[in-house]
Amino acid sequence: MRYQRVGDIVIVRKNLTEEEIKKIVEKTKCKSIVKYVTISGEFRTQYVKLLYGEETETIHKEHGCLFKLDVSKIMWSQGNIKERERMAFISNKRETVIDMFAGIGYFTIPMAKHSKPFIYAIEKNPVAYKYLCENIKLNKLKNVAPILSDNREVKLGKVADRIVMGYVHKTHKFLDKAFSFLKDRGIIHYHETVPEKILEKRPIERVKFYAEKYGYKIIDYKIHKIKKYAPGVWHVVLDVHLER
Ligand code: SAM
Protein backbone atom coordinates (compact mmCIF):
# COMPACT_ATOMS: atom_id res chain seq x y z
CA MET A 1 0.00 0.00 0.00
CA ARG A 2 1.22 3.51 -0.86
CA TYR A 3 1.43 6.04 1.92
CA GLN A 4 3.40 9.13 2.86
CA ARG A 5 5.04 9.77 6.22
CA VAL A 6 5.18 13.28 7.64
CA GLY A 7 6.90 13.10 11.01
CA ASP A 8 5.02 10.45 12.99
CA ILE A 9 1.84 10.82 10.94
CA VAL A 10 0.91 8.71 7.91
CA ILE A 11 -1.06 10.17 5.01
CA VAL A 12 -2.98 7.81 2.71
CA ARG A 13 -5.07 8.46 -0.38
CA LYS A 14 -7.97 6.05 0.25
CA ASN A 15 -10.17 4.77 3.09
CA LEU A 16 -8.64 1.87 5.02
CA THR A 17 -10.04 -1.25 6.62
CA GLU A 18 -9.36 -1.93 10.32
CA GLU A 19 -6.86 -4.58 9.21
CA GLU A 20 -4.97 -2.13 6.96
CA ILE A 21 -4.86 0.48 9.74
CA LYS A 22 -3.45 -2.12 12.15
CA LYS A 23 -0.74 -3.13 9.66
CA ILE A 24 0.36 0.48 9.05
CA VAL A 25 0.45 1.28 12.77
CA GLU A 26 2.53 -1.83 13.47
CA LYS A 27 4.93 -1.12 10.63
CA THR A 28 5.40 2.63 11.09
CA LYS A 29 4.62 3.17 14.81
CA CYS A 30 2.72 6.28 13.67
CA LYS A 31 0.53 8.19 16.12
CA SER A 32 -2.15 9.08 13.54
CA ILE A 33 -3.30 8.17 10.04
CA VAL A 34 -5.11 10.71 7.88
CA LYS A 35 -6.69 10.43 4.48
CA TYR A 36 -5.74 13.21 2.09
CA VAL A 37 -8.86 14.94 0.75
CA THR A 38 -7.64 18.02 -1.11
CA ILE A 39 -5.40 21.09 -1.12
CA SER A 40 -7.09 24.30 -2.10
CA GLY A 41 -7.19 28.08 -2.07
CA GLU A 42 -4.51 30.75 -2.11
CA PHE A 43 -3.17 29.52 1.27
CA ARG A 44 -2.81 25.97 -0.20
CA THR A 45 -4.73 24.65 2.84
CA GLN A 46 -4.68 20.88 3.19
CA TYR A 47 -7.91 19.10 4.08
CA VAL A 48 -7.75 15.59 5.56
CA LYS A 49 -9.95 13.00 7.30
CA LEU A 50 -8.63 11.40 10.48
CA LEU A 51 -8.70 7.58 10.18
CA TYR A 52 -6.69 6.68 13.26
CA GLY A 53 -5.37 8.53 16.33
CA GLU A 54 -6.15 12.05 17.46
CA GLU A 55 -3.26 14.40 16.81
CA THR A 56 -2.50 16.02 13.47
CA GLU A 57 0.49 18.14 14.56
CA THR A 58 3.93 16.66 14.09
CA ILE A 59 7.62 17.44 13.56
CA HIS A 60 9.07 16.21 10.28
CA LYS A 61 12.83 15.79 9.86
CA GLU A 62 14.48 16.28 6.47
CA HIS A 63 17.96 17.29 5.27
CA GLY A 64 19.03 17.96 8.87
CA CYS A 65 16.11 20.37 9.45
CA LEU A 66 13.00 20.20 11.62
CA PHE A 67 9.59 21.23 10.26
CA LYS A 68 6.67 21.49 12.69
CA LEU A 69 3.27 21.49 11.01
CA ASP A 70 -0.34 20.43 11.38
CA VAL A 71 -1.19 18.11 8.48
CA SER A 72 -4.88 18.98 8.80
CA LYS A 73 -4.14 22.61 7.90
CA ILE A 74 -0.80 22.75 6.12
CA MET A 75 0.46 20.96 3.01
CA TRP A 76 3.67 18.95 2.83
CA SER A 77 4.68 18.04 -0.69
CA GLN A 78 6.74 14.86 -0.88
CA GLY A 79 7.29 15.59 -4.56
CA ASN A 80 9.25 18.76 -3.68
CA ILE A 81 11.89 16.92 -1.63
CA LYS A 82 14.66 17.27 -4.23
CA GLU A 83 13.89 20.96 -4.70
CA ARG A 84 14.06 21.57 -0.93
CA GLU A 85 17.50 19.93 -0.98
CA ARG A 86 18.63 21.94 -4.03
CA MET A 87 17.52 25.19 -2.38
CA ALA A 88 19.36 24.23 0.83
CA PHE A 89 22.76 24.51 -0.81
CA ILE A 90 22.19 27.13 -3.52
CA SER A 91 22.94 30.34 -1.64
CA ASN A 92 25.79 31.65 0.55
CA LYS A 93 26.60 33.92 3.51
CA ARG A 94 26.99 37.06 1.39
CA GLU A 95 23.46 36.93 -0.07
CA THR A 96 20.18 38.51 0.96
CA VAL A 97 17.28 36.29 -0.08
CA ILE A 98 13.55 36.99 -0.20
CA ASP A 99 11.24 33.97 0.02
CA MET A 100 7.98 35.49 -1.25
CA PHE A 101 5.78 32.45 -0.39
CA ALA A 102 7.53 31.05 2.66
CA GLY A 103 4.79 28.78 4.06
CA ILE A 104 6.15 27.00 7.14
CA GLY A 105 9.67 27.50 5.79
CA TYR A 106 9.85 24.74 3.13
CA PHE A 107 12.77 26.46 1.35
CA THR A 108 13.68 29.12 3.94
CA ILE A 109 14.61 26.68 6.72
CA PRO A 110 17.00 24.41 4.74
CA MET A 111 18.55 27.38 2.92
CA ALA A 112 19.06 29.38 6.12
CA LYS A 113 20.55 26.35 7.86
CA HIS A 114 22.91 25.09 5.15
CA SER A 115 23.78 28.08 2.91
CA LYS A 116 23.44 30.76 5.62
CA PRO A 117 22.26 33.83 3.66
CA PHE A 118 20.03 36.42 5.37
CA ILE A 119 16.41 35.60 4.44
CA TYR A 120 13.24 37.69 4.56
CA ALA A 121 10.51 35.03 4.67
CA ILE A 122 7.09 36.41 3.73
CA GLU A 123 3.92 34.46 4.48
CA LYS A 124 0.32 35.62 4.31
CA ASN A 125 -1.51 32.76 6.07
CA PRO A 126 -1.41 33.29 9.88
CA VAL A 127 -1.45 29.52 10.55
CA ALA A 128 1.53 28.84 8.25
CA TYR A 129 3.26 31.95 9.66
CA LYS A 130 2.91 30.62 13.22
CA TYR A 131 4.71 27.40 12.17
CA LEU A 132 7.30 29.37 10.21
CA CYS A 133 8.18 31.26 13.42
CA GLU A 134 8.27 28.02 15.43
CA ASN A 135 10.47 26.36 12.82
CA ILE A 136 12.95 29.26 12.88
CA LYS A 137 13.25 28.71 16.66
CA LEU A 138 13.32 24.89 16.45
CA ASN A 139 16.23 25.07 14.00
CA LYS A 140 17.98 27.80 16.07
CA LEU A 141 18.21 30.18 13.13
CA LYS A 142 19.23 33.81 13.60
CA ASN A 143 19.39 34.70 9.92
CA VAL A 144 15.66 34.68 9.07
CA ALA A 145 13.26 37.62 9.40
CA PRO A 146 9.68 36.30 9.14
CA ILE A 147 7.07 38.74 7.82
CA LEU A 148 3.32 38.12 8.17
CA SER A 149 1.87 39.84 5.11
CA ASP A 150 0.72 39.59 1.54
CA ASN A 151 4.06 39.92 -0.26
CA ARG A 152 2.57 42.65 -2.49
CA GLU A 153 2.21 44.88 0.59
CA VAL A 154 5.81 44.43 1.75
CA LYS A 155 8.18 47.34 1.20
CA LEU A 156 11.81 46.26 1.45
CA GLY A 157 13.29 48.03 -1.57
CA LYS A 158 15.85 46.48 -3.91
CA VAL A 159 17.68 44.35 -1.36
CA ALA A 160 17.54 40.82 -2.82
CA ASP A 161 20.36 38.91 -4.49
CA ARG A 162 18.01 35.95 -4.82
CA ILE A 163 14.23 35.59 -4.80
CA VAL A 164 12.30 32.36 -4.26
CA MET A 165 8.80 32.26 -5.77
CA GLY A 166 7.59 28.83 -4.55
CA TYR A 167 3.96 29.17 -5.55
CA VAL A 168 2.18 27.66 -8.53
CA HIS A 169 -1.01 29.62 -9.03
CA LYS A 170 -0.58 32.57 -11.37
CA THR A 171 2.94 33.12 -10.06
CA HIS A 172 3.62 35.52 -12.93
CA LYS A 173 1.15 37.97 -11.34
CA PHE A 174 3.74 38.42 -8.58
CA LEU A 175 6.68 39.20 -10.88
CA ASP A 176 6.10 42.98 -10.66
CA LYS A 177 6.72 42.69 -6.93
CA ALA A 178 9.68 40.34 -7.38
CA PHE A 179 11.45 42.86 -9.64
CA SER A 180 10.80 45.60 -7.07
CA PHE A 181 12.85 43.49 -4.59
CA LEU A 182 15.68 42.49 -6.96
CA LYS A 183 19.09 44.18 -6.88
CA ASP A 184 20.60 45.28 -10.23
CA ARG A 185 22.05 41.80 -10.47
CA GLY A 186 20.32 38.73 -9.06
CA ILE A 187 18.53 35.43 -9.43
CA ILE A 188 14.84 34.54 -9.40
CA HIS A 189 13.60 30.98 -8.81
CA TYR A 190 10.25 31.17 -10.56
CA HIS A 191 7.80 28.25 -10.09
CA GLU A 192 4.95 27.46 -12.44
CA THR A 193 2.64 24.60 -13.39
CA VAL A 194 2.80 24.31 -17.14
CA PRO A 195 1.51 21.96 -19.85
CA GLU A 196 4.34 19.80 -21.22
CA LYS A 197 3.97 21.19 -24.75
CA ILE A 198 4.80 24.75 -23.71
CA LEU A 199 7.20 23.88 -20.90
CA GLU A 200 10.26 25.28 -22.68
CA LYS A 201 8.50 28.47 -23.78
CA ARG A 202 5.90 29.89 -21.41
CA PRO A 203 7.80 30.28 -18.11
CA ILE A 204 10.80 32.02 -19.69
CA GLU A 205 8.60 34.22 -21.88
CA ARG A 206 6.67 35.37 -18.84
CA VAL A 207 9.82 36.23 -16.88
CA LYS A 208 11.34 37.91 -19.98
CA PHE A 209 8.27 40.14 -20.31
CA TYR A 210 8.72 41.51 -16.78
CA ALA A 211 12.53 41.66 -17.08
CA GLU A 212 12.18 43.95 -20.11
CA LYS A 213 9.51 46.00 -18.34
CA TYR A 214 12.00 46.80 -15.58
CA GLY A 215 15.11 47.13 -17.78
CA TYR A 216 16.79 43.82 -16.90
CA LYS A 217 18.61 41.47 -19.28
CA ILE A 218 18.47 37.70 -18.90
CA ILE A 219 22.09 36.57 -18.53
CA ASP A 220 21.31 32.89 -18.23
CA TYR A 221 18.46 30.55 -17.33
CA LYS A 222 17.73 26.91 -16.68
CA ILE A 223 14.45 25.08 -16.27
CA HIS A 224 14.10 22.19 -13.79
CA LYS A 225 11.20 19.75 -13.68
CA ILE A 226 10.08 19.27 -10.06
CA LYS A 227 7.18 16.83 -10.43
CA LYS A 228 4.22 15.78 -12.54
CA TYR A 229 1.38 17.98 -11.33
CA ALA A 230 -1.52 16.59 -13.39
CA PRO A 231 -1.76 14.52 -16.59
CA GLY A 232 0.38 16.37 -19.14
CA VAL A 233 1.21 19.16 -16.68
CA TRP A 234 4.54 19.73 -14.89
CA HIS A 235 5.50 21.73 -11.83
CA VAL A 236 8.70 23.41 -12.95
CA VAL A 237 11.11 25.97 -11.54
CA LEU A 238 13.05 28.37 -13.70
CA ASP A 239 16.34 29.73 -12.34
CA VAL A 240 16.88 33.08 -14.05
CA HIS A 241 20.03 35.21 -13.72
CA LEU A 242 19.22 38.86 -14.37
CA GLU A 243 21.18 42.09 -14.68
CA ARG A 244 20.57 45.74 -15.57
N1 SAM B 1 6.75 25.76 -1.96
C2 SAM B 1 5.96 24.96 -1.07
C3 SAM B 1 6.52 23.56 -0.94
O4 SAM B 1 7.69 23.34 -1.22
O5 SAM B 1 5.84 22.64 -0.50
C6 SAM B 1 4.51 24.95 -1.47
C7 SAM B 1 3.83 26.24 -1.67
S8 SAM B 1 3.52 27.10 -0.17
C9 SAM B 1 2.27 26.15 0.52
C10 SAM B 1 2.81 28.58 -0.73
C11 SAM B 1 2.57 29.55 0.41
O12 SAM B 1 2.40 30.85 -0.15
C13 SAM B 1 1.32 29.27 1.23
O14 SAM B 1 1.69 29.09 2.57
C15 SAM B 1 0.44 30.52 1.04
O16 SAM B 1 -0.27 30.87 2.20
C17 SAM B 1 1.47 31.56 0.68
N18 SAM B 1 0.96 32.71 -0.09
C19 SAM B 1 0.04 32.71 -1.09
N20 SAM B 1 -0.14 33.96 -1.57
C21 SAM B 1 0.70 34.77 -0.87
C22 SAM B 1 0.98 36.16 -0.93
N23 SAM B 1 0.37 36.95 -1.79
N24 SAM B 1 1.91 36.66 -0.07
C25 SAM B 1 2.55 35.85 0.82
N26 SAM B 1 2.31 34.52 0.92
C27 SAM B 1 1.41 33.98 0.08
Q: How many Cβ atoms from other residues are within 10 Å of residue 119's Cβ?
A: 29
Give the atom of ligand 1 at the shortest distance from the alpha carbon of 44: 9
**pTM reported for the whole predicted model:** 0.95
Query: What is the per-residue pLDDT for 134?
Result: 98
Tens-digit pLDDT profile for residues 107-138: 999 999 999 999 999 999 999 999 999 999 99
Query: What is the per-residue pLDDT for 95?
Result: 98
172 half-sphere exposure, CB direction, 13 A CA radius: 13
pLDDT at 46 over 90: no
**pLDDT band for position 227 (cuts 50, 70, 90):** very high
Query: What is the per-residue pLDDT for 203?
Result: 98
Please work out whether the CB of residue 229 comes within 6 Å of at least one atom of ligand 1.
Answer: no
Give the atom of ligand 1 at the shortest distance from the alpha carbon of 77: 5
What structural domains does the chain harbor? 4-77 (3.30.300), 79-243 (3.40.50.150)
Q: Is 37 or 88 the better-scoring residue by pLDDT?
A: 88
- Ligand 1 centroid distance, CA of 131 (Å): 13
Please work out whether the CB of residue 164 comes within 6 Å of at least one atom of ligand 1.
Answer: no
Query: What is the per-residue pLDDT for 40?
Result: 85
Please work out whether the CB of residue 52 comes within 6 Å of at least one atom of ligand 1.
Answer: no
pLDDT at 41 over 90: no
Tens-digit pLDDT profile for residues 74-96: 999 999 999 999 999 999 999 99
- Ligand 1 centroid distance, CA of 43 (Å): 6
pLDDT at 169 over 90: no
pLDDT average, residue stretch 143-171: 97
Q: Which of 43-57, 144-158, 203-217 has the lowest mean pLDDT?
A: 43-57
Query: What is the per-residue pLDDT for 243?
Result: 98
Tens-digit pLDDT profile for residues 7-17: 999 999 999 99
As beta bridge partners, residue 182 has 160
Region at 213 (left for phi over 0; alpha for psi -120 to 50; beta for the rest): alpha
**Choice from 101, 108, 180 to test ligand 1 binding pocket (greatest atom count within 8 A of CB):** 101
**Contacts of range 230-235, beta carbons closer than 8 Å, 24 or more positions apart:** 230/193, 232/195, 232/196, 232/197, 233/193, 233/194, 233/195, 233/196, 234/193, 234/194, 234/195, 234/196, 234/199, 235/79, 235/168, 235/191, 235/192, 235/193
Query: What is the per-residue pLDDT for 42?
Result: 85
Q: d(Cα 91, Cα 109) in Å, to the nearest integer?
A: 12
Q: Are 80 and 227 in contact (CB under 8 A)?
A: yes
Which ipTM score applies to this complex?
0.95
Residue nearest to atom 14 of ligand 1 (CA): 103
Query: What is the per-residue pLDDT for 182?
Result: 98
**pLDDT band for position 1 (cuts 50, 70, 90):** confident
**pLDDT band for position 171 (cuts 50, 70, 90):** very high
Q: Specify the amino acid at residue 209.
A: F
User: What is the average pLDDT score of the chain?
Assistant: 96
